[in-house]
Amino acid sequence: MSQQFENVTCTRCGGTGKYSWNRIELDRCRKCTGCGWCFTKRGQAAWEYYLASQNVLASELEAGMFIWDTIKNNRWVRIESVKASEAIWNDRAIPTMEIKTSRGTHCIFQENTVRAIKNEEQRKQQMIEAFEYQATLTKTGKPAK
């Protein structure tokens, strides 16, 4: 897709992704986290709309769907199996879901939301809808009246 969420060159680092040095982040710019660009308010609102469209309750996950794996390399991984289980916490049984992927097993509370999609076509459709939503926003990131 050639269309992008609206963004601008970072005003802090001038697009280099580097700023002043410190021991924790070295010379990575804190405003753009080193990528050299930032969303505009309109682009940020559309990005958040896109992410919200992928929120699924853990209890609704099924084998064959894809979840966004933030633990290892930030990428989509296919769910191989889903099993309801319980975790004991403070002497209480809490309903959880064991989600097995090719990259490991995740244990998630059933009422938590997870970034998930059924397939690539659904992801593309969500992206199109987010771009359409972005087109309806003002520069302040609010819907036009």
Average pLDDT over residues 84-102: 91
Domain ranges of the chain: 1-39, 55-120
Residue 143: pLDDT above 70? Answer: yes
Nearest C-alpha neighbor of 51 from the set 144, 132, 130, 134: 130
Dist. CA 136–CA 25, nearest whole Å: 37
| Structure-block tokens of residue 103 | 């990259």
Model pLDDT for residues 16-44, shown as the tens digit of each residue:
999 988 788 789 998 999 999 999 999 99
Q: CATH: 1.10.600.10, 2.120.10.70, 2.130.10.10, 2.30.30.30. Which one for 55-120?
A: 2.30.30.30
